[in-house]
Amino acid sequence: MKWTPGSGGSIDDQRGRSGVMRAGLPIGLGGALILLVGSWLTGTDLFSLLNGGTTQESAPASESARVNSTPEEQKLYDMVGAVADDLQSTWGEILGARFQRTTVVVFRGVAESACGTAQSATGPFYCPSDRQIYLDLSFFRELSTKLGAPGEFADAYVVAHEFGHHIQTLIGTEANMQAARRRSPGSGNALSVALELQADCYAGVWGHAAMQSGRAQAGRVELERGDIEAGLNAAAAVGDDRLQRRSTGHVVPDSFTHGSSAQRSAWFKKGLDAGTPNACDTFDSANR
């Protein structure tokens, strides 16, 4: 993947900050599966902890301190900035006046979001309440070494997926999904899967734009040979079935919240091939 460091305007670097740790976890790519598997094993509804509980004190909130970064981490940080800048530009071109910029909050360990406490264990996530993406760069190490999805475009897919949730918020899909969930609580998991698969498809839409030759000369992200395979592998690596099998040895399809490996890679590829968000109607049951 060809890229040059971004302007930094898409990132809020909180790696040097400490914060207050509160009960209530937002759900990201990996966090939903952590809670899901834990609930299944213990018989306790761990999702209920998202909205209540006691406060756990850590270090008090402070201003950003100087960030000591390894060369490896700094390269990841610069890559995320470049991808985020490109995603802002690409979706601005697609949506026009409807587009509003978002920010990627890069943190270490713990950060505060309007959706609750962001922790490394929850994985990357998008918070609709403050319209920001939260990311601990250590997730990319987990993606590569533990989930078997190495490569820069695998990491870029993760960022693009979270941007997909921002697009859903901007165009009203996320609000419509929440309203549908209130009307039909039993459909919550199916609606969540549809939302996640659409974010995968939107990530593919950006990937389609990044496949165009000559983008690197304009300072944009440009994909190279092998990148598509890395992205598809990453989408499959975070499928509910694969994560459940790794965690417990069992797969419980009725508990899926993000979609199977096959579904996630298929919808990502659909966006890659089509290059338009109009191809991403995952809420049509005939398409899922």
pLDDT for 216 equals 94
Residue 129 falls inside a structural domain? yes
pLDDT for 285 equals 62
Residue 93 falls inside a structural domain? yes
Three-class DSSP labels, the chain: CECCCCCCCCEEEECCCCCCEECCCCCCCCHHHHHHHHHHHHCCCHHHHHHCCCEECCCCCCCCCCCCCCHHHHHHHHHHHHHHHHHHHHHHHHHHHHCCCCEEEEECCEEEECCEEEEHHHCCEEECCCCEEEEECHHHHHHHHCCCCCCHHHHHHHHHHHHHHHHHHHHCHHHHHHHHHHHCHHHHHHHHHHHHHHHHHHHHHHHHHHCCCCCHHHCCCECCCCHHHHHHHHHHHCCHHHHHHHHHCCCCHHHCCCCCHHHHHHHHHHHHHHCCHHHCCCCCHHHC
pLDDT for 29 equals 58
Residue 6 falls inside a structural domain? no
pLDDT for 28 equals 57
Higher-pLDDT residue of 25, 167: 167
Residue 3 predicted with pLDDT over 50: yes
- Mean pLDDT for 72-99 is 97
Q: 100-157 pLDDT, tens per residue?
A: 999 999 999 999 999 998 888 888 999 999 999 999 999 999 999 999 999 999 999 9
Question: What is the average pLDDT value for the chain, to the nearest integer?
Answer: 85
Residue 105 falls inside a structural domain? yes
pLDDT for 288 equals 65
Q: How many domains is the chain partitioned into structurally? A: 1
Residue 3 falls inside a structural domain? no
Which range of residues forms the domain containing residue 188?
11-287
pLDDT for 64 equals 47
Residue 263 falls inside a structural domain? yes
Residue 137 falls inside a structural domain? yes
- Mean pLDDT for 171-199 is 94
pLDDT band (50, 70, 90) for residue 44: very low
pTM assigned to the model: 0.84
pLDDT band (50, 70, 90) for residue 22: very low
Residue 32 predicted with pLDDT over 70: no
pLDDT for 119 equals 87
pLDDT for 247 equals 87
pLDDT for 30 equals 52
- Mean pLDDT for 196-207 is 98
Residue 18 predicted with pLDDT over 90: no
Residue 82 falls inside a structural domain? yes
